[in-house]
Amino acid sequence: MGDRLVQVEFAYHLKNPRPDEKLLVGPYTGTVCFAPDSYWAITEAKLKLEDDPSKEVSAINTRNEIAKALRGIPVIVETRILWYDLKGKLFQRRSVKREWKEYTGGDERFTLSAYGFPEPGTARPSKKRLWFLGISVALALLSIALLIYRRWRTPATNVASLGAAPVQQQSGDAPS
């Protein structure tokens, strides 16, 4: 694109891979070129495998072609990947071209619920749910009021009125 680039050199050693990364264990070195004027898109990456466990690949080079296709926003329009063997000879080449078209349809096709989020305005509880909640709160308050009224109206129960003989202490005994 002719823009300025920022190159970052790195050395990395993958020690504890996930199950899908078992073939990627080992030390790597390389460079990555970013285009800061294009939202830091990666324009080029060179990766050198210091010790490939599969003993097949020694380097991978990737180049992305960036174009301002959508309202001036940079997008990747082509990716070229080159794999080199242990002797430095090219053994695999892959090129992917992408065609970008600006969407001209309406926004009604895109919904937040397709991504697991609630739609605006639907986060409120339904009217049935509000009625149920209101009736539940009213019944709870009525129950508490009836319990308080019942305790206030009912006199304290006397042990003698239950038919049990009252326990009398003798004057000489100390309670233990």
Q: What is the pLDDT of residues 2-33, one digit of tens each?
A: 568 899 998 988 776 677 666 666 788 899 99
Distance of alpha carbon 60 from alpha carbon 84, whole angstroms: 6
Q: Is 167 exposed, middle or buried (0-12, 13-18, 19+ CB in 10 A)?
A: exposed
Tokens of 162: 């239950």
Band (pLDDT 50/70/90 cuts) for residue 94 is very high
pTM: 0.51
Residue 15: DSSP 8-state: -
Region 147-172: mean pLDDT is 66
Q: What is the pLDDT of residues 40-73, one digit of tens each?
A: 888 999 988 877 656 667 888 999 998 887 777 8
List the chain domain ranges. Answer: 6-100, 124-153
CA distances (Å), origin 153, targets 144, 146, 149, 156, 157: 14, 10, 6, 10, 12
C-beta of residue 59 within 8 angstroms of C-beta of residue 47: yes
* Nearest to 52, CA basis, from 16, 14, 82: 14
CA distances (Å), origin 83, targets 28, 29, 47, 60, 94: 15, 15, 10, 5, 9
Distance of alpha carbon 133 from alpha carbon 111, whole angstroms: 30
Residue 76: DSSP 8-state: E
For the chain, the average pLDDT equals: 79
Residue 105: DSSP 8-state: S
- 3-state DSSP assignment of residue 31: strand
* Residue owning tokens 């490939």: 52
What is the reported pLDDT for 6?
Answer: 92
The secondary element (H helix, E strand) that includes residue 174 is: none
